[in-house]
Amino acid sequence: MRSDPTQALDSIFQQWGISASKKWNTSGEPCAGAAIDSSEINNPGIKCDCSNDNASTCHITQLKVCALDVVGVIPDELWNLTFLTILYLAQNYLTGPLSASIGNLRMMQNMSVGLNALSGELPKELDSLLIYDFFLLGQATSLVLCHLSLGIW
């Protein structure tokens, strides 16, 4: 079994200086153990869907890094996790803008990036996503809301 893209996930965690939960297999195949069982997602942690290609390929579908005092930008590698349906990055110290590459996350359904120090305009690529639950605003957020026709405001 192989996961997509494992290197992206490793790079994200390394750039943020965080370690995976002890329940998460970091010795090669992250989509094993707690990442594929029915337990709640760890923090930090992932959940995977291994129902593709006769269970020979797993896709990372959830990423949670909440309230862990993560400092820095959202790494470009995150936008390569194209099977993400849930992304929780709230209550950290993430800075900079949301990348236009957010448009790569075509399967995204729930996203929470509020209570960070993000800045700049929201990328127009958000328009093409069918996000059902998007939490952005918070006391430490200074993103400019513009040109979006999302039915969530």
Q: How confident is the model at residue 34 (pLDDT cuts 50, 70, 90)?
A: confident
Check whether 26 has a pLDDT greater than 60.
no
List alpha helices for 27-91, DSSP H. none
pLDDT for res 149: 38
Query: How high is the mean pLDDT of the chain?
Result: 81
57-64/45-52 β-pairing: antiparallel
Domain range 2-144, CATH class: alpha beta
Kindly report the number of other CB atoms within 10 A of residue 69's CB atom: 10
Over range 10-18, report the average pLDDT.
91
Domain boundaries, the chain: 2-144
